[in-house]
Structure 1
Amino acid sequence: MPKKGKRSQAQKRRRRIEALLRTSNATNYASGEASVDPESPDFFPSLFEYSEQDQDMEAPDVMDSSILNKMTRRDTCIRKSSFTEASRSSTAEEAEEFCTDEQDAMIPLEIYNKLQVQHQQLMIEYIDLCTKSYALQEENNQLKEELCSRMFSFSSIRMKAQQMLFFTGLSTVIFEWLLSKLKGNVPAMYSTLSLEDHLLVVLMKLRLGLRNEDIALRFAVTENAISNILRNWIRIMAQTLKPMIKWPTRNAVLKKMPKCFQKKYRQCRCIIDYIEVFIETPRCMMDQAQTWSNYKHRHTVKYLVGLTPAGAVCFLSPGWGGSVSVKEMVSNSGFFELLEPMDKILAIRGFPIREDLVAYQATLHIPHFKKSDKQLCASEAGTPGRLSNVRIHLERVIGRLKKFTILTSVIPRNQEDILGDMVTVCGALTNLCQT
């Protein structure tokens, strides 16, 4: 049995609807009559007469909750119904469209077979092209390697010991060690050349005395580029390598003393000689007079060189004009100040410095060869063989420095300002070269 409260509410609702229907007529419905379909717009009357006074009437602040709930439920039902119908319509259209596309996608079997044959042919051609491309790539890489090997560079001679010695006078290990010492101070001036190639340019210039044009052609750069590399690198190399030319202690000399020196020349401290480097005729008349050598009959610059019995360069004087005498050059070079009492100095040619050496309690010795047209004196007769061996050794030691062909070449005017640095670098490199 329904409760009394619920029954009274239902009765009130029914009476209200009946009253509403009694007050409405056909003019209150859009179709002219009421409808029993809840989804029809004529389920409720929607058209009412109104006067101008109705516009001034205020709407009630609170709507009856029962009417509001009923209207909300009605709107929800309408939206659900509309969505369901729209979904059904959309699904039907998509299905119809899919069927149409599938029918359109169907192609005859004959055309399909032709396309399959064409696809297989294209795949065969593709594989063939890939194979040819790979072969061409391999050939290209091989030709590049061959081209690089033919182009002159450090990498092309790095693993060739004989060529390294010929072009630089150094082994590959010493070359790379030298580069590690210079790397932080020297610039990479041209991107087309590696740092190794920069150093190789300098060493080839000093060792072989090649012209700048020759070196430029070998490295495929301009002559101006070679000139700039030489100027910048040689100065920095001279500053870096100069400490390698130092005066040795007596103990250091004794440890490396050659056998031919052991008996009579055990106290030999140094072997002295001088080199004269040819230069182009200076433009200045005064410079011409200072550099003219009566001995060479050329314009030269002289350098006093000191070497240990083992062959290391231990002293190198500044450059002097060719007109300066040997005695004056030695006296003003600072060589005497390095000597100690009882030191023996050897030379292969006459140095007029015997009297000067007496002041430092040192002596000068010049080994001689026996000549067929001249009788040896009594002091020489007892030791001709020993003197000959010593002299041969002296010439070999002095000849190590002269293997740098730049020192026997003619230095052009535009390189005379770096001649001193060239000689310093050659002296230091002599100490690095294999004996």
Structure 2
Amino acid sequence: MTYHELSATEEIATEQPPEKPLEQQYRELLQDYSALKEELEAVREENRQLKDNLKKSQFGFDAISPRAFCFFTGLRSVGLFLWLLAILKRSTSITLRGGLTWENNFLIVLMKIRLGLLNRDIAYRFGTSFTTVSRILREWIPLLSSTLRPMIVWPSKEKIRAKLPRVFKPKYKNCRCIIDCTEIFIQRTFNMTARSETWSNYKHQNTMKYLIGITPTGSISFLSDGWGGRASDKLITIDSGFLKKVDPKDEILADRGFLIREELAMVGATLRIPSFTKSKSQLSGRCVDTSRQLSRVRIHVERVIGQLKQFLILNTVIPISQVDLLDDVIVICAALTNKKRSVVPLKR
């Protein structure tokens, strides 16, 4: 092949195909665009499904069904949870930790109180660290306590009489409050003085002791600060400020351990406790009947304490490192107990 023939062949081979009309190019590009757009939407939908599946596989607020919500938090509804959270969000003293949402920070606090879980258990469930859980609890519990404390109300005598249940009317129409003490186990400390002051002869363990008062309708109306288990019921009642709330002609129902008749008499109130046998071998028929009637109404405070201890943290042994939070914890438990259905039949 000659040089000119070779040049002609290369020239033919390098010729470009004729360009498509612009209208045809536009249609093809539009089709490619539509195909890519559909593919992108499919990828986005797949991502949404993966995110939903991931949320369901991880423990947290989004993974709890409404039916299980009360078990994990002790609250009646998700709405109450969100209402309390909205109030707490207004505080400037809270810092979100561990990359967790507001809802999960609050959920950690409520689960600690409701279920009494170890901090390491909570950290594992939420995929965070033990230190993060400890810091969340130390920041949120005091704030939640101060938010809920107004739910523990000492009502007026008029309000109590207006709602007095039928079971109180025959013998205890002037009942203002039923009182009792409850004890929470704490870890034994190395400090011998503190160990002695918190030793409970009744529980045979180191405890913190609280005076609880309820209205005839079953609401917690008084809650003392914590005392060492060694303190007597009388001492706590006198020094807790309870007597300052009592008015003349009030009746206070209690157990035999509350030897405060004289202290109540000084403010014009009356103490009602079961009769003592003293030196007698047995009680008279009248005393037995009176004690039986008193027991029928006084037992409601024990039932309310039973409701209170459905918050399982109060059934655990509180570590020494967390005892300083116990007063706030029991305030939270008492306030949320007041949001539950009353244990007293409210028929009037």
Same fold (TM over 0.5): yes
Aligned counterpart for 1:243 among listed residues 150, 160, 165:
150
Rounded Cα–Cα distance in structure 2 between residues aligned with 1:236 and 1:124: 59
Q: Which residue of 2 aligns with 1:190?
A: 97
Q: Which residue of 1 aligns with 2:73?
A: 168
Aligned counterpart for 2:107 among listed residues 193, 196, 200:
200
Rounded Cα–Cα distance in structure 1 between residues aligned with 2:283 and 2:50: 68
Residue 148 of structure 1 pairs with residue 94 of structure 2: no
Q: Closer, same or farther in 2 for the Cα pair 1:391/1:324, shift >3 Å?
A: closer
Greater Cα offset, 310-319 or 340-349: 340-349
Q: Which residue of 2 aligns with 1:305?
A: 212
Q: How far off its partner does 1:415 sit?
A: 0.8
TM-score where L is the length of structure 1: 0.65
Residue 328 of structure 1 pairs with residue 246 of structure 2: no
Q: How far off its partner does 1:232 sit?
A: 0.9
| Secondary structure at 2:197 match in 1 | helix
Rounded Cα–Cα distance in structure 1 between residues aligned with 2:206 and 2:198: 5
Q: Is the 8 A contact 2:253 2:298 kept in 1?
A: no
| Secondary structure at 1:410 match in 2 | coil
| Secondary structure at 1:302 match in 2 | strand
Residue 224 of structure 1 pairs with residue 131 of structure 2: yes
Residues 38-117 of structure 1: matches in 2 within 5 Å?
107=16
Aligned counterpart for 2:314 among listed residues 407, 410, 435:
407
Rounded Cα–Cα distance in structure 1 between residues aligned with 2:130 and 2:105: 14
Rounded Cα–Cα distance in structure 2 between residues aligned with 1:156 and 1:245: 32
Q: Is the 8 A contact 2:218 2:300 kept in 1?
A: no
Q: Is the 8 A contact 2:116 2:313 kept in 1?
A: yes
Q: Which residue of 1 aligns with 2:9?
A: none
Greater Cα offset, 196-205 or 232-241: 232-241
Q: Which runs of 5+ in 1 are unaligned?
A: 1-102, 369-373
Rounded Cα–Cα distance in structure 1 between residues aligned with 2:152 and 2:339: 11
Q: Which residue of 1 aligns with 2:185?
A: 278
The Cα offsets for residues 348-395 of structure 1, whole Å up to 9 and x where unpaired, read as 564222333222332233479xxxxx9874226667986565355343
Q: How far off its partner does 1:396 sit?
A: 2.3
Rounded Cα–Cα distance in structure 2 between residues aligned with 1:385 and 1:302: 27
Q: Which residue of 1 aligns with 2:226?
A: 319
| Secondary structure at 2:333 match in 1 | helix
Q: Closer, same or farther in 2 for the Cα pair 1:388/1:351, shift >3 Å?
A: closer
Residue 296 of structure 1 pairs with residue 209 of structure 2: no
Q: How far off its partner does 1:231 sit?
A: 0.6
Rounded Cα–Cα distance in structure 1 between residues aligned with 2:195 and 2:59: 40
Q: Is the 8 A contact 1:313 1:427 kept in 2?
A: yes
Q: Which residue of 2 aligns with 1:357?
A: 264
Residue 397 of structure 1 pairs with residue 340 of structure 2: no
Rounded Cα–Cα distance in structure 1 between residues aligned with 2:194 and 2:292: 45
Q: How far off its partner does 1:347 sit?
A: 3.0
Rounded Cα–Cα distance in structure 2 between residues aligned with 1:316 and 1:381: 31
Rounded Cα–Cα distance in structure 2 between residues aligned with 1:325 and 1:207: 29
Structure showing greater Rg: 1
Q: Closer, same or farther in 2 for the Cα pair 1:386/1:297, shift >3 Å?
A: closer
Q: How far off its partner does 1:123 sit?
A: 11
Aligned counterpart for 1:378 among listed residues 268, 273, 285:
285
Aligned counterpart for 1:234 among listed residues 141, 159, 166:
141
The Cα offsets for residues 179-234 of structure 1, whole Å up to 9 and x where unpaired, read as 22222124132162122222211111111111111111111111111100111111
Q: How far off its partner does 1:176 sit?
A: 1.7
| Secondary structure at 1:227 match in 2 | helix
Rounded Cα–Cα distance in structure 1 between residues aligned with 2:285 and 2:217: 30
Q: Closer, same or farther in 2 for the Cα pair 1:262/1:414, shift >3 Å?
A: same
Q: Is the 8 A contact 1:348 1:395 kept in 2?
A: no
Q: 2:101 is matched by which residue type in structure 1?
A: S
Residue 179 of structure 1 pairs with residue 62 of structure 2: no
| Secondary structure at 1:275 match in 2 | strand
Q: Which residue of 1 aligns with 2:176?
A: 269
Q: How far off its partner does 1:250 sit?
A: 0.8
Greater Cα offset, 346-355 or 416-425: 346-355
Q: Is the 8 A contact 1:345 1:362 kept in 2?
A: yes
Rounded Cα–Cα distance in structure 1 between residues aligned with 2:274 and 2:57: 49
Q: Closer, same or farther in 2 for the Cα pair 1:216/1:330, shift >3 Å?
A: same
Rounded Cα–Cα distance in structure 1 between residues aligned with 2:309 and 2:256: 16
Q: How far off its partner does 1:155 sit?
A: 2.5
Q: Is the 8 A contact 1:367 1:390 kept in 2?
A: no
Q: Percent identity?
A: 47
Q: Closer, same or farther in 2 for the Cα pair 1:416/1:129, shift >3 Å?
A: same
Q: Closer, same or farther in 2 for the Cα pair 1:261/1:206, shift >3 Å?
A: same
